[in-house]
Chains A and B, each alone.
Chain A
Amino acid sequence: SQQGEEDPQALSIQEGENATMNCSYKTSINNLQWYRQNSGRGLVHLILIRSNEREKHSGRLRVTLDTSKKSSSLLITASRAADTASYFCATPKSGGSYIPTFGRGTSLIVHP
């Protein structure tokens, strides 16, 4: 069953601003992943953070993981119009499965 839920559902910002998206999940995980989806396309893997990590960086992306609160955040710094996309967190199906499941995503619009 679906575990992760992203928040907010939609986010609209100006170019240069930072964008923060959150993901909450229900059961214990061994890692969490963030993906990006451009309109009408497949998903692109952005970053994977393991349960023993608290923060991870990749370029302008910063991901945090708080296992005590069962939540993760994705921060995009100095956003660009090209960052406009939907962002999903992926967590294993409940029950210790390796199969990734996705929330509804956050739709990010970055205005030039």
Chain B
Amino acid sequence: GAVVSQHPSWVICKSGTSVKIECRSLDFQATTMFWYRQFPKQSLMLMATSNEGSKATYEQGVEKDKFLINHASLTLSTLTVTSAHPEDSSFYICSARDDSEDRGLYSNQPQHFGDGTRLSIL
């Protein structure tokens, strides 16, 4: 089955540090990936849609300069939390659409999720 690898699985760092999270589709190509943020016992909040070869589309209220997204290949998207502060501590999850399962731009299809990254900023 389609596997998405997210790395690191957890990170603890000091306030002011920038942290990069990688999301890789291991056995499929993904033109589109999504980045979510999840607080304890809460829903997944969509942060941005990552598109290979073009700029990410950010959701309202998400700071583009704070959360830098790069989708340089069909199998890798990265999220960099710049100058992280304690309020950025959260569980970050990526998901990917398998291009071979694509039923069209406006068709929902199963998302393949990474295992998430728990970010703790001290």
What is the interface of chain A, defined by CB distance below 8 A to chain B?
2, 29-31, 33, 35, 40-45, 48, 88, 90, 92-93, 96-105, 107
Interchain nearest-CB distance for A42 vs B (Å): 4
Name the residue on B nearest A44 (C-beta): B113
Q: How far is the CA of A40 from the CA of B110 in the complex (A)?
A: 20
Decide: B46 and A33 in contact? CB cutoff 8 A. no
A48 surroundings in chain B (CB, below 8 A): 108-110
A42 surroundings in chain B (CB, below 8 A): 4, 6, 93, 95, 113-116
What is the interface of chain B, defined by CB distance below 8 A to chain A?
4, 6, 34, 36, 41-44, 46, 49, 91, 93, 95, 105-116, 118
B34 surroundings in chain A (CB, below 8 A): 99-100
Q: How far is the CA of A29 from the CA of B33 in the complex (A)?
A: 21
Q: Indicate the member of B6, B91, B110, B116 with the most A CB atoms within 10 Å.
A: B110
Interchain nearest-CB distance for B58 vs A (Å): 12
Decide: A97 and B106 in contact? CB cutoff 8 A. yes
Q: How far is the CA of A106 from the CA of B116 in the complex (A)?
A: 19
Q: Indicate the member of B95, B108, B111 with the most A CB atoms within 10 Å.
A: B108
Interchain nearest-CB distance for B49 vs A (Å): 6
A35 surroundings in chain B (CB, below 8 A): 111, 113
A93 surroundings in chain B (CB, below 8 A): 46
Decide: B43 and A104 in contact? CB cutoff 8 A. yes
Interchain nearest-CB distance for A67 vs B (Å): 15
B43 surroundings in chain A (CB, below 8 A): 2, 88, 102-105
Interchain nearest-CB distance for B113 vs A (Å): 4
Interchain nearest-CB distance for A39 vs B (Å): 10
A43 surroundings in chain B (CB, below 8 A): 44, 93, 95, 111, 113
- A35-B111, A43-B44 known; 20 new pairs, CB 8 Å cut-off, are A30-B106, A30-B107, A33-B110, A33-B111, A42-B4, A42-B95, A42-B115, A43-B111, A44-B113, A45-B112, A48-B108, A90-B108, A90-B111, A96-B106, A98-B108, A100-B34, A103-B43, A104-B41, A104-B43, A107-B41
